[in-house]
Structure 1
Amino acid sequence: MTTTFFLVRHAAHDRVGTVLCGRMAGVYLGSLGKAQAERLAQRFASEDVACIYASPLERALETAEPIASRLGYSVRVCEDINEVNFGHWTGTSFEMLNQDPRWSSWNHSRSTSRPPEGETMLEAQGRIVRAMEQLRIRYSDRSVILVSHGDVIKAALLYHLGMPIDSYHRLEVEPASICTLVVGDWGSKLLRLNEVVAA
């Protein structure tokens, strides 16, 4: 028995690439992101999906809502697929972070580094993998959509591919992309990585 997971990164917001938003409140999709969310809803319209879960952050919920509406479901919030807790770095520009040696350490060794007052990537990996295992048992032989965040999705993929967490930079997970993973008692299989729905 297997469960198919569609791991969806939230669509674009106006701070992508400039600010480490982390778990800061009030980060909403921009016009591009809203269009991407609608395209995702069209992409999933013909899929047989059991449910859709999203991170509690606004940008994830805004991405999930058009998909859920198209499928006739309500979005369920799952704290375990929330963004990495970046602690004191939350809301800091990447320009400022690039001057912080701890930021360099974090990006060179995610397995041993921790954001100040935040969580490690291994801790984030543990919670999304735990959530997926619970959902796999609950939705055996079904499909589930999880709308989450780039680093958290990478952490899940690395676990299921048997790769170290420091290999995160080898995977590309763009805004509004879909990674499709099948998980069973026998192990895992990645069917699609970074699928982006064309405009």
Structure 2
Amino acid sequence: MTVILLRHGRSTSNTAHTLAGRSEGVDLDAVGREQAQAVVDRIGDLPVKAIVRSPLLRCERTVEPLAAALGIQPIVDERISEVDYGTWTGRKIGELFKEPLWKVVQQQPSAAIFPEGEALAGVQARAVAAVREHDRRLAAEHGSDVLWLACTHGDVIKAVLADALGTHLDSFQRITADPASMSVIRYTETRPFVLHVNHTGNGLTAGLAAKPGPEAGAVPSGDAVVGGSTD
């Protein structure tokens, strides 16, 4: 089973440099809408059989063009929703740099619990459980390997990738998930294989047709901003 982890397109919160979290009504900006439309061509002829998305508006908008092109009704799953940042929600990133918790988020995210929100360790647990459950369900439904797509958020994608890479959550800030980027994980009976990380190019094809060997994988890169990139 292979999952494409699609981060939502650039949002109005990204350009305002605020931490959107689970704020209602945060939509894509003009660039984000273009990115959402471009997802159709980037997926191309890949046989995507299912789309699962976060309940938040920016993910809904991101998958709309692809869902229409493929004739698929997306499934909404709360477990891949954005991190509940609690009282940090809606605040400027520049202000959050000054909070003592910021250093914990950067240096030991496994210990980070957002005030009146949730722990990053809990985010990883719920998101990984959701991805693996959808994998099992689709395998049972189709009786064979299936390619599917999950549209979610930057920190959620980074947490799932860290699990797939077999690295501690404290290293997840080494992974980048830009707006409208795609990361790809193939789950097998023995282990996950990470085929793409933060793919922002045109066609997403390399490595999706062939089964990966022991050398398969990807090198995470970039530095960290809570909530993913602000670009």
Q: Sort the TM-score into its range (normalised by shorter chain).
A: over 0.9
- Conservation of the 8 A alpha-carbon contact between 1:45 and 1:71: no
Q: Deviations over 1:96-151 (max 9, x none)?
A: 21222122322221111211011111101111111111111112210110000010
- Conservation of the 8 A alpha-carbon contact between 1:8 and 1:176: yes
Q: 1:4 aligns with which of 2, 15, 19?
A: 2
Q: Which runs of 5+ in 2 are unaligned?
A: 140-144, 203-231
Cα displacement (A) at 1:194 = 0.8
Distance in 2 of aligned mates of 1:175 and 1:119: 23
Which has the larger strand fraction?
1
Distance in 2 of aligned mates of 1:187 and 1:24: 36
Q: Which runs of 4+ in 1 moved over 4 A?
A: none
The secondary structure found in structure 2 opposite 1:154 is helix
TM-score if structure 1 supplies the norm length?
0.95
Paired position in structure 2 for 1:95: 94
Distance in 1 of aligned mates of 2:64 and 2:146: 20
Paired position in structure 2 for 1:50: 49
Q: Deviations over 1:22-77 (max 9, x none)?
A: 11111000000000011111112311111101100000110011111111111211
1:30 and 2:29 matched: yes
Q: Deviations over 1:134-185 (max 9, x none)?
A: 1111122101100000100000010011101111121111100000110022
Count of aligned pairs between the two proteins? 197
Distance in 2 of aligned mates of 1:154 and 1:97: 20
1:115 and 2:114 matched: yes
Q: Cα RMSD over matched residues?
A: 1.4
Please list, as runs of the form range in 1=range in 2, the aligned pairs for 1:7-156 lying within 5 A after superposition. 7-16=5-14, 18-140=17-139, 141-156=145-160
- Conservation of the 8 A alpha-carbon contact between 1:22 and 1:83: yes
The secondary structure found in structure 1 opposite 2:117 is coil
Which letter does structure 1 place at the counterpart of 2:14? V
Q: 2:165 aligns with which of 161, 167, 176?
A: 161
Identity in percent? 34
TM-score if structure 2 supplies the norm length?
0.82
Distance in 2 of aligned mates of 1:193 and 1:45: 19
Distance in 2 of aligned mates of 1:194 and 1:103: 23
Which letter does structure 2 place at the counterpart of 1:101? P
Distance in 1 of aligned mates of 2:196 and 2:88: 32
Which letter does structure 2 place at the counterpart of 1:175? P
Q: 2:198 aligns with which of 182, 194, 197?
A: 194
Q: Which runs of 5+ in 1 are unaligned?
A: none
